[in-house]
Structure 1
Amino acid sequence: MKKILIADDSFFQRKILTDIVSDMGYEFDAVGSGEALLEKVNDSYDCIFLDLLMDGMSGIDVLKALKERENKVPVVVITADIQKARKDECFENGATAFMNKVVSKDELIEILNGVFNQPK
């Protein structure tokens, strides 16, 4: 069974994401900060959902730290920030996919299907 790690400082957003991935039959862990994600992440996860704008470490900071660790787990950035430059920066730092908030179940399913059907 696929396992997803979710990092978002908004309880509401974490709840939306965890409800959707749970309904889809995936296992998950959810954390409220970039620091907590970095403490928890390992190769047992099949995908990471990462909020871009968080207190403490930003999503960009987390992406850079994951890149330094040579992270192989696909990272889906989720944000309300829709600037092209920000999106490009995410991809340059290792993001696999990019979703805008508010997350819809259909979009999340499409993204996960793409992530899980890519060769590692």
Structure 2
Amino acid sequence: MNILVVDDHPLYRSGVSFALQNTGMGVEVVECATLDAAFQRLDAGLRADLMILDLQMPGYTGLDSVRAVRNRRPEVPVLVLSGNEDPAVVRECIDLGAFGFVPKSAPSDQFNAALARVLAGGVYLPPTSLSVGVPATRAQQDAWSRLGTHLTERQRQVLLGIVQGKPNKVIARELGLSDTTVKSHVAHILAALVVSNRTEAVYALARAGLSIRDLEASPAPPVH
């Protein structure tokens, strides 16, 4: 398993690498001090199962680093590390397709939990972000617990695209579907999660502790 650690602070980058190598997961760590250096490694053939990305990188402002990775390497899952714990920033990162967000002030057990969740195909959000907003209703909790039986295999594929921050047109192209069909699948997914938009859907998965693998392990009932 290859994990790319991208951070311009040598001490913090080394600390993250040390933590990864002591998880017992058999991790191979590649360190890069700039995002451009990371792109060079990927373009040269490096296969990365995960990129751990500092939000503020040289040459990039705001959330541009996340946008750049999602645009240039959408196949690489991104876990954001940042000293900015503003829930609005967390939400924007998830909107852009990051699979998780960990504050740099987080304890090691939270980092390990985030790592495990993202590598399993789930979304990790810090507890401070999950507690912001309206609590989940009983109807939502019930829907989340039965989600695997509410989605077809194709809808799970569309849901993965939603988690990755991909627009409908990209999901349609990758799955060989029409835009109208993808819109129909998205509407069904939102209804199954009892939410009103795509970002709420990603937050619902995080709150429920669900991953795409969980959904794949829970096949939908046969259609009669």
Coarse TM-score class (shorter-chain normalised): 0.7 to 0.9
Q: Which of 69-78 and 11-20 deviates more?
A: 69-78
Provide the C-alpha distance between the structure 1 equivalents of 2:36 and 2:101, rounded to a whole number of angstroms. 20
Provide closer, same or farther for how the CA distance between residues 53 and 78 of structure 1 changes in structure 2, counting only shifts above 3 A: same
**Percent of pairs with identical residues:** 27
As a proportion of its length, which structure holds more strand? 1
Instruction: Show CA shifts across 1:22-79 (max 9, x none).
Output: 1123101011112212222367111110001122224722221222235122100000
Larger Rg: 2
Give the match for residue 22 of structure 1: 21
Q: Which position in structure 2 is the counterpart of 1:8?
A: 7
1:38–1:62: 8 Å Cα contact kept in structure 2?
Answer: no
Query: TM-score w.r.t. structure 2 length?
Result: 0.49
Q: Would you say 1:53 and 2:52 are equivalent positions?
A: no
Secondary structure of the residue aligned to 1:4 is: strand
User: CA separation in 1, counterparts of 2:107 and 2:90?
Assistant: 19
Alpha-carbon distance between aligned partners in 2 of 1:59 and 1:33, rounded to the nearest angstrom: 15
Alpha-carbon spacing, 1:27–1:37, altered in 2? closer, same or farther (3 Å): same
Q: Corresponding residue for 2:37? A: 36
Shift of 1:81: 0.5
1:92 matched to 2:95:
yes
> Is this contact kept in 2: 1:43–1:72, CA < 8 A?
no
Runs of at least 5 residues in structure 1 that lack an aligned partner in the other structure:
none
- Root-mean-square deviation (Å): 2.0
Counterpart residue type for residue 39 of structure 1: Q
CA distance in 1, matches of 2:3, 2:64: 20
Counterparts of 1:62-101 in structure 2, within 5 Å, are 62-69=65-72, 71-101=74-104
Q: Distance in 2 between matches of 1:55 and 1:72?
A: 23
Deviations 1:4-27, CA, capped at 9 Å, x for gaps: 000011111101101011112310
User: For the Cα contact (< 8 Å) 1:49–1:75, is it kept in 2?
Assistant: yes
Structure 1 residues 52 and 59 mapped into 2: Cα distance closer, same or farther (>3 Å)?
Answer: farther
Give the structure with the higher percent helix.
2
* SS of the residue 2:59 aligns to: coil
Flag the structure with more relative contact order, 1 or 2, with Cα contacts below 8 A and sequence separation at least 6.
Answer: 1
Residue 128 (structure 2) pairs with residue 115 (structure 1) = no
- Take 2:87 and 2:5, find their aligned partners in 1: how far apart are those partners? 23
Q: How far apart, in 1, do the equivalents of 2:62 and 2:101 lie? A: 12
